[in-house]
């Protein structure tokens, strides 16, 4: 007798559900231990004599949370994305003192995993906490109840930087934590501010970049068209477009992604050498994002061609600062035109570069962030810059 497919798959499904249930139980048991024992019995006494240091007369001191390394599974792949999109731009903007905390180096497993964080806050007296790529369900990230304790006992505002805010997982995190977040800085999309305008404070910005990595030169452009990135999972639509370019006889360089990773310097160098750089704005089905690649391409001086979407035109002008396409055929036709009309290609690429460097610089990003914090009463109006900077890792 033939066994139905659903019954054959039942044991594997039950095992998967059991594993998920076990993880859920362990996560919540651990959270309960931290909430009801560790915080009142261990961390709160350590913060009993905490006195905030006045930021008046100096730069704000930021405790910046980020991943030190990029990972593929458990394998380290060099510096994380956070380095060139958050850490270096903040340091280069010279608008704040920076104290770094690395999720993957400074946290330890177990209920007392946030001990080093509490010690760091006691020692450095930051004015606010800024989080990049924070996940409240990741046991190697600071426990959110601990963060709320630091927020209340040490008067430390919480600022979350969202580089991915369109999927159900980040939206779920936002809904769980929003009441204790003082400012959400949205780099990729207006999803949160559009769908939940009254839940929390929002600031829609963009992805700042390290301008010592992404910059324009007058070197020869020896690559016609390039795309650096993955084509797996929801990104499979990219492969269809790239294959069409190849079928039409274009000299396309496609590299990057998990299977053919490139280093950051090589990544930026390819863009600088490309006459045209392709970008895809698609996120999960039906969603678009303002990708960091938009700014990486424009800062490198290449002509950006990007799929038509509602996010990028809020910052750049289609057919003036970059070229948008509506189909694979449209992309190929426009690519051919701009490869044959060098003056027009260079003019649009220069427009995009100038707009990116003047209106959407890393300095402008952080100045707007601190300006909003002052508007919300989270940072004194009379804090002024000085030239001191500390680095505690």
Classify residue 209 as left (phi > 0), alpha (psi -120 to 50) or beta. Answer: beta
Cα dist from 350 to 39, 159, 296, 317, whole Å: 54, 34, 14, 13
Residue 257, both tokens: 């992604």
The answer on pLDDT for 10 being more than 60 is no
Average pLDDT over residues 203-222: 94
The answer on pLDDT for 377 being more than 90 is yes
For residue 380, what pLDDT is reported?
Answer: 78
- Max mean pLDDT among 74-83, 171-180, 383-392 falls in 171-180
Give the range among 71-75, 88-92, 134-138, 206-210 with minimum mean pLDDT.
71-75
Confidence of residue 72 (pLDDT cuts 50, 70, 90): low
For residue 57, what pLDDT is reported?
Answer: 81
The answer on pLDDT for 392 being more than 90 is no
Residue 68, both tokens: 């030190």
Angle, vertex CA 322, rays to CA 320 and CA 328, nearest 5: 125
Average pLDDT over residues 84-95: 94
Confidence of residue 54 (pLDDT cuts 50, 70, 90): confident
Average pLDDT, the chain: 89
Distance CA 236, CA 234 (A): 6
In tens, the pLDDT along 283-317 reads 877 789 999 999 999 999 999 999 999 999 999 99
**Is 75 exposed, middle or buried, given 0-12, 13-18 or 19+ CB atoms closer than 10 A?**
exposed
For residue 309, what pLDDT is reported?
Answer: 95
For residue 105, what pLDDT is reported?
Answer: 94
What percent of the chain stands above pLDDT 90? 74
Angle, vertex CA 143, rays to CA 141 and CA 147, nearest 5: 110
The answer on pLDDT for 252 being more than 90 is yes
Residue 52, both tokens: 């905030």
Residue 318, both tokens: 């289609």
The answer on pLDDT for 16 being more than 80 is no
Distance CA 153, CA 155 (A): 6
The answer on pLDDT for 24 being more than 70 is no
Report which of residues 262 and 315 the model is more confident about.
Answer: 315
Distance CA 303, CA 342 (A): 11
In tens, the pLDDT along 224-243 reads 999 999 888 777 889 999 99
Strand runs (DSSP E) across 69-173, as ranges? 69-72, 75-79, 97-102, 128-132, 158-162
pTM above 0.75, yes or no: yes
The answer on pLDDT for 266 being more than 50 is yes
For residue 22, what pLDDT is reported?
Answer: 65
Give the range among 45-54, 110-119, 173-182 with minimum mean pLDDT.
45-54
From the DSSP assignment, how many helices (H) and strands (E) are in the chain? 15, 13
């Amino acid at each position: 007798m033939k066994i139905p497919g659903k019954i054959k798959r039942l044991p594997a499904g039950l095992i998967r559900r059991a594993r998920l249930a076990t993880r859920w139980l362990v996560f919540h048991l651990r959270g309960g231990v931290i909430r009801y024992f560790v915080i009142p019995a261990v961390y709160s006494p350590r913060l009993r004599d905490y006195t905030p240091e006045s930021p008046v007369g100096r730069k704000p001191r930021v405790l910046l949370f980020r991943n030190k390394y990029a990972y593929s599974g458990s394998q380290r792949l060099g510096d994380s994305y956070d380095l060139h999109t958050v850490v270096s731009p903040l340091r280069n903007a010279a608008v704040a003192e920076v104290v770094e905390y690395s999720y993957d180096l400074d946290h330890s497993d177990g209920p007392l995993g946030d001990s080093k964080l509490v010690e760091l806050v006691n020692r450095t007296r930051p004015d606010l906490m800024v989080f990049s790529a924070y996940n409240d369900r990741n046991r190697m990230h600071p426990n959110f109840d601990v963060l709320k304790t630091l927020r209340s006992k040490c008067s430390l505002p919480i600022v979350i930087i969202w580089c991915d805010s369109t999927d159900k997982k980040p939206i779920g995190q936002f809904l769980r934590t929003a009441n204790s977040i003082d400012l959400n800085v949205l780099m990729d999309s207006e999803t949160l501010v559009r769908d939940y305008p009254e839940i929390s404070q929002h600031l829609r910005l963009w992805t700042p970049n390290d301008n010592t990595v992404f910059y324009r030169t007058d070197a020869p452009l020896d690559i016609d068209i390039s795309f650096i990135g993955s084509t797996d999972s929801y990104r499979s639509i990219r492969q269809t477009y790239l294959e069409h370019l190849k079928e039409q006889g274009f000299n396309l360089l496609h590299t990057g992604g998990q299977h053919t990773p490139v280093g950051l310097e090589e990544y930026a160098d390819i863009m600088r050498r490309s006459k045209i750089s392709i970008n895809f704005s698609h996120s999960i089905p039906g969603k678009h994002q303002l990708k960091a690649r938009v700014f990486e391409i424009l800062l490198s001086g290449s002509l950006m061609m990007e799929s038509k979407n509602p996010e990028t035109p809020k910052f750049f002008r289609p057919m003036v600062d970059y070229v948008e396409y509506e189909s694979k055929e449209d992309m190929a036709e426009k690519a051919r035109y701009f490869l044959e009309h060098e003056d027009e290609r260079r003019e649009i690429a220069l427009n995009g570069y100038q707009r990116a460097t003047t209106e959407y610089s890393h300095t402008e990003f952080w100045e707007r962030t601190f300006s909003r914090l002052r508007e919300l009463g989270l940072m004194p109006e009379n804090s002024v810059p000085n030239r001191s900077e500390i680095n505690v890792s």
